[in-house]
Amino acid sequence: MIVPLAHILILAAVIFSLGLVCVLVWRSNVIMLLIGIEIMLNAAMLVFVGGSARWGAPDGQVFALMIMAMTSAEVSLALALVVYLHRRRRTVDVDAFRELRDP
Amino acid sequence: MGALLFYILATVMVVATVLAITGRHPVHAIVYLVTSFFALAGIFFLLLAPLVAMFEVIIYAGAVMVLFMFVIMMLDLGHPESGVRPGWRQWFPALVLSAVILVSLLLAAGSPATAPRTGGEGVKEFATLLYGRYGVAIEIISLQLLFAVVGALYLGRRR
């Protein structure tokens, strides 16, 4: 272990909060919102790999791989949805798709 | 040496992510994120996970980011002059929430640290575990990828 686990967790938490800020701030562009989700998933992967290195068990690397496969499936579906919505409304603003919330 | 490299890569990653989420141009954000993911791949390599580091470069920095770039180009969103930066009304709750996260993190990081680890796990142990104990998970992930392909084809067809 080259650095203490606490430093890895601090880095992961900083990256996670940056991704959270990106999701909360960029409501005017749904692609930037998806990028925020990517950043948060990367922070989760960093925690898994850091734990794997800390306790010397490769299970964390396996789950990092699972997160990667899950992310690629999620991104392909979400970007297909973005293309579909853009074809209907000619915009990527999230606030333009609020019929589900407004009565 | 390895610790110094870790801190350099961590700084690069945080700075690149901050630049990615504060810019107004989505294409620049994608390029900064590729930088950030390369730094993360270096960190994975330092944490004795070379296979995950390679997949990070191939899948994240390669496939996923190119997919984002492809959609931005296809929907013709890459105009910096028409891009709007979010106002303070969007920034304020996000910054408050992240400040709460960071303060609680600083409080939690005061607790004492770790024991040294023992031994190294190679690619062979990783592969044995992946296809042995987690073989069912591999099957489920492949089914999920198949569903994603079918769903993307359904959503993307012209009608």
- B-chain CB neighbours of A2 within 8 Å are 2-3, 6, 46-47
* A103 CA: distance to closest CA in chain B (Å): 24
Confidence of residue A46 (pLDDT cuts 50, 70, 90): very high
- What letter would DSSP give residue A95? G
What per-residue confidence (pLDDT) applies to A103?
59
- A-chain CB neighbours of B10 within 8 Å are 7, 11
> Domain boundaries in chain A?
5-96
What per-residue confidence (pLDDT) applies to A60?
87
- Residue in chain A closest to B122 (alpha carbons) equals A58
- What is the token pair recorded at B159? 């009608």
User: Are A40 and A16 contacting, i.e. CB atoms less than 8 angstroms apart?
Assistant: yes
CB contact under 8 A, A77 and B152: yes
- How far, CA to CA in Å, does B114 sit from each of B27, B88, B127? 41, 41, 27
pLDDT tens, A2-29? 788 888 888 999 999 999 998 888 878 8
- B-chain CB neighbours of A58 within 8 Å are 121, 125-126, 129
User: Are B57 and B37 contacting, i.e. CB atoms less than 8 angstroms apart?
Assistant: yes
Query: Is CATH 1.20.120.1200 the right assignment for the domain spanning B1-80?
Result: yes
* B69 CA: distance to closest CA in chain A (Å): 10
* B98 CA: distance to closest CA in chain A (Å): 5
Q: Mean of the per-residue pLDDT values for chain A?
A: 87
CATH architecture assignment, domain A5-96: Orthogonal Bundle (1.10)
Confidence of residue A42 (pLDDT cuts 50, 70, 90): very high
Rounded distance between C-alpha atoms, residue B127 and residue A65, angstroms: 11
- What is the token pair recorded at B33? 């994120």
> Domain boundaries in chain B?
1-80, 124-159
In this prediction the ipTM stands at 0.88
pLDDT tens, B76-103? 776 766 666 667 777 787 788 888 878 8
Rounded distance between C-alpha atoms, residue A80 and residue B157, angstroms: 10
Rounded distance between C-alpha atoms, residue B119 and residue B117, angstroms: 7
What per-residue confidence (pLDDT) applies to A95?
77
- A-chain CB neighbours of B69 within 8 Å are none
CB contact under 8 A, A58 and B71: no
Determine contact: A55 vs chain B, CB below 8 A: yes
Whether the predicted pLDDT of A51 surpasses 60: yes
What per-residue confidence (pLDDT) applies to A87?
85
pLDDT tens, B108-157? 776 655 555 545 567 788 888 888 888 899 999 999 999 999 998 888 78
CB contact under 8 A, A79 and B71: yes
> Alpha helices, DSSP H only, in B23-134?
26-46, 50-55, 65-75, 88-108, 123-131
Confidence of residue A73 (pLDDT cuts 50, 70, 90): very high
Chain A 3-32, CB below 8 Å of chain B: which residues?
3-11, 13-22, 24-29, 31-32
What per-residue confidence (pLDDT) applies to B87?
72
Q: Is the dihedral of CA B140, B142, B143, B145 positive or negative?
A: positive
Residues sharing a CB contact under 8 Å with residue A32, sequence separation 6 or more, in sequence order: A22, A26, B21, B26, B29
Whether the predicted pLDDT of A88 surpasses 60: yes
* A48 CA: distance to closest CA in chain B (Å): 10
Q: Please report, rounded to a whole number, the percentage of residues in chain A having pLDDT higher than 70.
A: 95
pLDDT tens, B29-87? 899 999 999 999 999 888 888 888 999 899 988 889 999 988 888 887 767 666 666 67
> Ramachandran region of residue A3, left (φ > 0), alpha (ψ -120 to 50) or beta?
beta
